[in-house]
Amino acid sequence: MTRFSKADALHLGILAMLVIAFFVLPTYHVGAVSRIMVLAVYAIGLNLLFGYTGLLSLGHAMFFAAGMYGFGLAIKFMAAPVLLAFVLALIAAAALSLVVGLLALRTAGVAFMIVTLMFAQTAYLVVLYFGEFTRGDEGFVLQQAERLLLGFDVTSETGRYFVAFSVFAICFLGFARLVQTPFGKRLIAIRENEERARMLGYDVGRYKLLALIVSGTISGCAGALYALLFGYVGATFASVQYSILPLLWVLLGGAGTTIGPLIGVMFMFYLIDASSAYTNSYMLIAGLVLVLLTMFAPKGIAGILRLRVMPWLP
């Protein structure tokens, strides 16, 4: 078996397990996995920029929110059909990524982190400022009737799960393929040694901008999907917390690995879920586990797997 087919088999195996999970898991966990898949799409977006290109953004919530509000506002004010609203959401996220990229990529390292954080805070404040349309912190709900995808009800348990699964599968497999293409390899080269990549003849600035646009658009896709499946659009999703969470998911799951985002989101979700069953101070337990993982598995769960048993993992 070649390296590529092993990786492909793993990716398809994970997708098969997710399909099987729907039929064997209790209702509560089916709902949880739907949410996990949507958030994993968001983590995939950040992983492309952080894990593969080496650019640490602390403001990805703005792209998630751009997709979410792009979708929600198009439905609320334009009565747009779901598919059109989704396309508009992707355009909004891509356009914001382009503008932020053109400005933020003039900086690097810590400055890039701070600039993206500032842009995200600005986006958050813009959402609050235009509360007349966005309903600010309170947010707004998308009615069930507004969320028909080609006549298909996505608010049912089955509909929600398989729409989440379909978008996740497309992003997951597309992403796994992307990082194996020459474009993906160039991003990895930039992460490894930016100056050397430039001296070798690569237009590093252009590749970083493209990576940011793709990353931001995937994150926006997750935002729109969240609004579609869970019917709520709110400013919380533009707050700094939603920029830090995907970073934690990616770090825990394994930055720079294809399966890391899903593992990270699942691990974190169930860690909080399980610990909150025992105590109200569940974040204390979650924090302790995170510290231990960072100490003993700094490359994340999938990073350790790649190091020990799956060196072929892309």
Is residue 188 involved in binding another protein (CB under 8 A)? yes
CA–CA dist 58, 112 (Å, integer): 9
Q: What minimum distance in Å lies between the beta carbon of 187 and another protein?
A: 11
Distance CA 62, CA 119 (A): 8
166 C-beta neighbours (distance < 10 Å), count = 12
Given 185, 274, 283, 292, the residue binding another protein (CB under 8 A): 185
With residues binned 3-state (H G I as helix, E B as strand, rest as coil), the percentages for the chain, rounded to 5, are 75, 5, 20
Residue 65 and residue 55 in contact, taking contact as beta carbons nearer than 8 Å: no
* Backbone dihedral region for residue 54 (phi beyond 0: left; psi -120 to 50: alpha; all else: beta): left
Is 106 or 185 the residue whose CB approaches another protein more closely? 185
| Inter-residue contact 242 to 236 (CB < 8 Å) | yes
Question: Is 197 near another protein (CB under 8 A)?
Answer: yes
Q: Does 5 bind another protein (CB under 8 A)?
A: no
Residue 307 as a binder of another protein (CB under 8 A): the answer is no
Which of the ranges 5-13, 146-154, 195-203, 212-220 carries the binding residues for another protein, by CB under 8 A? 195-203
Question: From the list 109, 192, 279, 281, which residue makes contact with another protein (rule: CB under 8 A)?
Answer: 192
* Contact between 204 and another protein per CB under 8 A: yes
Q: Which of 33, 49, 80, 189 binds another protein (CB under 8 A)?
A: 189
Helix (H) or strand (E) holding 175, with range, is helix 157-178
Stretch that binds another protein, among 77-85, 124-132, 197-205, 229-237 (CB under 8 A): 197-205
Rule CB under 8 A: say whether 200 interacts with another protein. Answer: yes
Evaluate whether 306 touches 313 at the Cβ level (below 8 Å).
yes
Name which position in 2, 77, 150, 195 contacts another protein (CB under 8 A). Answer: 195
From the list 57-65, 106-114, 202-210, 222-230, the region that binds another protein by CB under 8 A is: 202-210
Tell me how far, at minimum, the Cβ of 287 lies from another protein, in Å.
30
Q: Are 309 and 6 in contact (CB under 8 A)?
A: no
Task: Indicate the residue among 152 and 196 with the shorter CB distance to another protein.
Answer: 196
User: Applying CB under 8 A, which of residues 196, 279, 283, 298 lies at the interface with another protein?
Assistant: 196
Using CA atoms, how far residue 24 sits from 38, 157, 258, 270, 299, in Å, is: 20, 14, 25, 17, 32
Residues 123 and 64 sit within 8 Å (Cβ to Cβ)? no
Question: Smallest gap, in angstroms, from Cβ of residue 185 to another protein?
Answer: 6
Residues lying near another protein in the complex (CB under 8 A) are found at 182, 185-186, 188-189, 192-193, 195-204
